[in-house]
Structure 1
Amino acid sequence: MDLSTKSQENIEYMIEAIKSKLRMASGAAMSASAFHVNQYDDIRDVYDIVMSKERLSISEVEALAQELGRLRNKA
């Protein structure tokens, strides 16, 4: 997938990948439709961090979930 294009489709892909990697129990609350394309760069940053790590600590998962929550609330 070409993530260089800022699109809702790419946001959906990244959010689903983040939820899968973080094994988020509250994944339903983290719907890609809650994010706007103008937040693309911030979502891409979170995606890149999550995908670059083999494993994430509990505190990292919590921090990333908080960041996604902050982005979702700004939409």
Structure 2
Amino acid sequence: MDLSKPSQKGVEFMIESIKSSLKMATAAAMQASAFSVEQYEDIRDIYEVATGSDRLSIAQVEALVSELGRLRKNS
């Protein structure tokens, strides 16, 4: 997937990859549609951290999940 240009498809791809990398127990609650392309760069930063390491500490996972929660659109 080409992530060099912001797109909703890119956001969806990155969110799904982040959920997989973090092995989130609440992954079903983290729907890609809850994120906006307007936060693309922030999501990409999280994506790069989450997918760029084989092992993340519990504190790192919690920080990434917290940041995702902050970026999620208000329902």
Question: Which of the five TM-score ranges fits, normalised by the shorter chain?
Answer: over 0.9
- For the aligned residue pairs, the C-alpha RMSD in angstroms reads 1.3
The corresponding residue for 1:56 is 56
Give how far 1:74 is off: 5.8
The sequence identity of aligned pairs, in percent, is 60
Residues paired across the two proteins, number:
75
Report the TM-score when normalising by structure 2: 0.93
Q: What do the CA deviations read for 1:32-69 (whole angstroms, capped 9, x no partner)?
A: 10001100000000001111111001111011000000
**4+ residue runs over 6 A deviation:** none
1:37 and 1:8 mapped to 2: Cα distance? 5
Quick check: which one's helix share is greater? 1
Distance between the aligned counterparts of 1:34 and 1:50, measured in 2? 19
How far apart in 2 are the matches of 1:68 and 1:56?
Answer: 16
User: Are residue 43 (structure 1) and residue 29 (structure 2) matched?
Assistant: no
Native 8 Å contact 2:11 2:37 kept in 1: yes
For normalisation by structure 1, the TM-score amounts to 0.93
Residue 73 of structure 1: CA displacement? 4.4
Which runs of no fewer than 5 residues in structure 2 stay unpaired? none
Where does structure 1 lack aligned partners over 5 or more consecutive residues? none
